A and B are shown apart, each in its own frame.
Chain A
Amino acid sequence: MAPVATPPSATDMVNPGVEDVIAEALKHGKNSGNASDHTMVLNMGPQHPSTHGVLRLVLEVDGEAVVSLAPDIGYLHTGIEKTCEAKFYQQVVPLTDRIDYLCPMTNNLAYCLAVEKLLELEIPERAQYLRVLLNELTRIQSHLVWLGTHAMDIGALTVFLYCFREREALLRIFEGVAGQRMMTSYFRIGGVSMEPPLDFYQQVRDFLADMPSKIDEYEGLLTGNPIWIGRLKGVGYLSPEDGIALGVTGPPLRASGVDWDLRRDMPYSGYEKFDFKVPISQHGDVWARYAVRMEEMRESVKIAKQALEGLPSGRIVADAPKIILPDREQMKTQMESLIHHFKIVTEGFGVPAGEVYQAVESPRGEMGYYVVSDGSQAVPRPHAQSVLCNAAGARDHVQRQAACRRGRHHRFHRYRARRD
């Protein structure tokens, strides 16, 4: 079924507002005589069960084809950047979890790396490895939620239960290591907050040993399934040029054939020491994005295994007593440590003036933190650059190109409508 209107190219796309879509639809409706001119406006979200995140879409549809679409974001905008203005640097870490609760560790990492760059702190290798290990587990966790909900929307309910079974194991690991299942706040500026518990290593080892067979299991349920293929292949095409022009990052961009991964191309936190492949696909459709993410999970398992096996011993925080809270024992027995503890807690620590941008490869794509310091203890201008904004913008473009049959899920991909 051909799209009604010729899809615009990325360069002349203007991201219409909700009002524009409605006004345009009204105009179409008035042209009587031609059946294809009769369109309908549908409101999707912000709390529709299939939107999975608070994103509102206003669609103009002609039968089963999407003529135009306006994404309306901001429903989850909680002003995190504004809140940060009145916080000390270390108090921002728990806020970064809330920016995306499916990859809290990645957000922690990007923010901590940015501040560490400003402070020019040297992070011990053990902390770097722990960060990499937990980041890769986070990536698997996030992809599991994506896969489960994606399959569920298409009607394959079983996959959801299987994915959440493995996710539960991961959340238990996170709970053990950080004391929290989802809002972990495990990383600290200068390292990580505490040593993992003793049973952590065995738990992770068991999980990593099991996981490849579980991925086979999901693929066994989906990859050869004719309904799954029919609903994914050739749907939601995004060309590499448009992907770049629209600012798409991460797995969707790699699924369009752009070979770019920050972990490999601009390594941070010691990623240059790990051996892994960056899966890409040339097809640019939903199927390609599915294939890339499945392959990414396998690669994440490999990276996590390397991090676990090569985990060096040593300190888990940098040697910077004026920035990192002292050990409890030291704090109670040494005057100097007590002073540092008191100062850090009551007045924070100063950060040299300057500005840095640190981007990491989050499960959804590039997650960047731009931190500007004026030399004081408070964070004058933190800015989190997340993937959603571009994804919502790109969705308009992709969905206009997607002429969909009833029940087909032509959604671009399932980014949460949250951006702070």
Chain B
Amino acid sequence: MAAVTGTTAVFEALPENKAVLALKTIASDAKFDRAELTLTVPGESILEAAQAIKTAGYNFLEDVTAVDWYPSEPRFQVTYHILSHSLKERIRLIVRLDSASASVDSIVSIWPSANFYEREVFDLFGVHFGSHPNLRRIMMPEDWEGNPLRKDYPVEGYR
């Protein structure tokens, strides 16, 4: 199946998909590419989306990470990979954030395993997670300056 983009096209192509059904009203963009389903949700509704997707049978949070699209805006893309043990399917949720307000609600209340992942994204990208129970650096020392995985942070050189 060739790549399908846009909410209407994806919802038409995958009418039976549980994730699509759960997020039909929330998703602002969708993509089905290389047999992987990606749904974009607005930052303010991530908790609602995560809860809906969990209820739909996607029980296992595999990964939370981010992509820095510097210098274009919205700069940050927070990516969640969620797996369903019963459906044997995986879905990717993404949230796009402007550099001026790089903050999104934490999903620790839904998946406790998000705790360390969100701390890692906070540490390396400087994306803030609202109401995270323990949002502090995890990889870098506490007094480190800057966020190493941002694109404007050099790969080589001395501090």
Contacts and interface: CB of A to CB of B under 8 A. Distances in A.
B130 to A, nearest CB: 15
A68 to B, nearest CB: 13
Nearest to B92: A357
Interface stretch (A132-140, A151-159, A199-207, A244-252): A244-252
B136 A385 contact: no
Interface string A75-105: 0010101110110000000000000000000
Given A74-B138, A82-B149, A370-B63, A13 B155 contact: no
A127 to B, nearest CB: 20
B88 A265 contact: yes
A381 B117 contact: no
Interface in A329-356: 354-356
B139 interface: yes
Contact of B113 (A73, A120, A246): A246
B134 A359 contact: no
Interface in A362-408: 366, 368, 370, 372, 380-381, 383, 385, 389-390, 392-393
A368 B155 contact: no
Contact of A383 (B65, B88, B92, B112): B65
Nearest to B119: A15
Interface string B87-107: 010101000000000000000
Given A86-B155, A265-B88, A357-B63, A247 B113 contact: yes
Given A357-B92, A381-B68, A390 B113 contact: yes
A397 to B, nearest CB: 8
Interface stretch (B7-15, B16-24, B30-38): B30-38
B51 interface: no
Contacts of B6: none
A55 interface: no
B148 interface: yes
Interface string B102-141: 0000001101110111001000000000000110101110
Interface residues of B, number: 40
B116 A83 contact: no
A118 B33 CA distance: 10
A74 B139 contact: yes
Interface string A39-82: 00000000000000000000000000000000001100101011
Interface in B44-99: 59-63, 65, 67-68, 79, 81, 85, 88, 90, 92
Contacts of B148: 79, 82
Given A73-B138, A120-B34, A370-B65, A389 B116 contact: yes
Contacts of A392: 116
Contacts of A320: none
Interface string A241-262: 0001111000000000010100
Interface residues of A, number: 45
A213 interface: no
A77 B149 CA distance: 13
Contacts of B59: 244
Contacts of B67: 355, 372, 380-381
A108 to B, nearest CB: 19
Interface of B: 3, 33-34, 36, 38, 59-63, 65, 67-68, 79, 81, 85, 88, 90, 92, 108-109, 111-113, 115-117, 120, 133-134, 136, 138-140, 148-149, 151, 153, 155-156
Interface of A: 10-11, 13-17, 20, 73-74, 77, 79, 81-83, 85-86, 117-118, 120, 244-247, 258, 260, 265-266, 354-357, 359, 366, 368, 370, 372, 380-381, 383, 385, 389-390, 392-393
